[in-house]
Amino acid sequence: MRTGPVRLSRRARAGRRPPDDGRRPLDDGRRLAGTLRRLAWRACYEALGARVREPAWAFMNYGYADVGPGADGSAPGTVAAASDPLVLDPADEPDRSCIRLYAATVAGVDLRGADVLEVGSGRGGGASWLSRYAGPRSTTGLDFSAAAVALATRHRRGPGLRFVRGDALALPFPDASFDAVVSVESSHCYPSVPRFLAEVRRVLRPGGHLLLADLRNHDDVVVLRDQLAGSGLELVELEDVTVHVVAALRQDNARKLALIEAWIPRPVHGAFRVFAGIEGTRNHVGLERGDLRYLRVRLTKPQVSAG
Ligand SMILES: C[S@@+](CC[C@H](N)C(=O)[O-])C[C@H]1O[C@@H](n2cnc3c(N)ncnc32)[C@H](O)[C@@H]1O
């Protein structure tokens, strides 16, 4: 599910088209492909929010687990769990692995007193955790699914927390209104990552951070690197955390299967196992083999912007 309902051909990815710098008007073909891609993802996430209203389901990411020294994650059983230092309220414990992905994404950045925007906040668990644990002044979760925004507004709580509906490619906020933009496992849905990055640069204050975690096809990692390099933001860190994500998927496999059984309508169990990264399904296998990579990225908006 995470690799996108509309796939670009290898030739298209290889650059037989002008690069999307986020500013150039799109030609008709690319605009149509982008619109279809966006509509498909929106329909998928609207259906999830509307059909599965279970409030306890707060996260939709693959998770992150610490791994022991020397673990390479190449085969089941080779990843030894290390002690996880994250201290959580008992009520948050069931979501530890998904929360760990957020903690890894924002690691090294002090969010105390900051105005934080999460793009692609889904069912709101991540924005709620940030607002309660990271000490920001405000946390805004944005998602293009009306059902997800309604669900998050109803069920998630935290100081200075709010949820709004909006598109990652046209953020409904004034220039320079946030100190940090967080985005977890959402950017693979965006029809134009350069446009998203241009919007992030616009809404960030000078010195502000983009903290992003997401997966890409192996061949698309270089595309993402180019997009980040052309964003006008300074790349501070890019880490491949695939081994941690695979470890989390393995650790959480039985629990997720039980939740699918309990919460998800039976006719869509098969599709949902793929979505959840259950062992043996496409994305799980892709991450194990290295065909898919999971990345954690930190960029900073220069104090004096290049324009
Ligand atoms: C896999 S979910 C991850 C949700 C959340 N970050 C988490 O970790 O639980 C991806 C989310 O991105 C949202 N999304 C996808 N494309 C978007 C766009 N163009 N603008 C805003 N949100 C988008 C989807 O609606 C969905 O809620």
For the segment 186-219, what is each residue's pLDDT rounded down to a tens digit? 999 999 999 999 999 999 999 999 999 999 999 9
What lies within 8 Å, CB to CB, of 31 at 6+ separation is none
CA of 88 to the centre of ligand 1 (A): 24
CA angle in degrees (0–180, nearest 5) for 293-103-196: 60
Q: Over 80: is that where the pLDDT of 295 sits?
A: yes
What's the rounded Cα separation, in Å, for the pair 113 and 9?
44
* Residue range 119-144: mean pLDDT, rounded: 98
Residue with tokens 């605009």, as numbered in its chain = 31
How confident is the model over 26-35, as pLDDT tens digits? Answer: 566 666 776 7
Instruction: Write down the residue that tokens 């690799």 correspond to.
Output: 3
Could you read off the pLDDT of 159-182 as tens digits, one per residue?
999 999 999 999 999 999 999 999
**Protein residue with its CA nearest to atom 27 in ligand 1:** 122
Q: What is the pLDDT of residue 15?
A: 32
Residue nearest to atom 11 of ligand 1 (CA): 120
Report the pLDDT averaged over residues 100-125. Answer: 97
- List the chain domain ranges: 26-300
Which CATH homologous superfamily contains domain 26-300?
Vaccinia Virus protein VP39 (3.40.50.150)
For residue 45 and ligand 1, the question of a CB distance below 6 A is answered with yes
| Cα-to-chain-centroid distance, residue 234 | 20
Atom of ligand 1 nearest to the CA of 123: 9
> Is residue 76 pLDDT above 70, yes or no?
no
Q: Which of 254, 235, 232 is nearest to 295 (CA)?
A: 235
Q: Which of 96, 72, 58 is nearest to 252 (CA)?
A: 96
In the sheet that 161-165 helps form, which strands lie side by side, from edge to edge?
A: 161-165, 138-143, 115-119, 178-184, 204-217, 292-300, 234-240
Does any ligand 1 atom lie closer than 6 A to the CB of residue 215? no
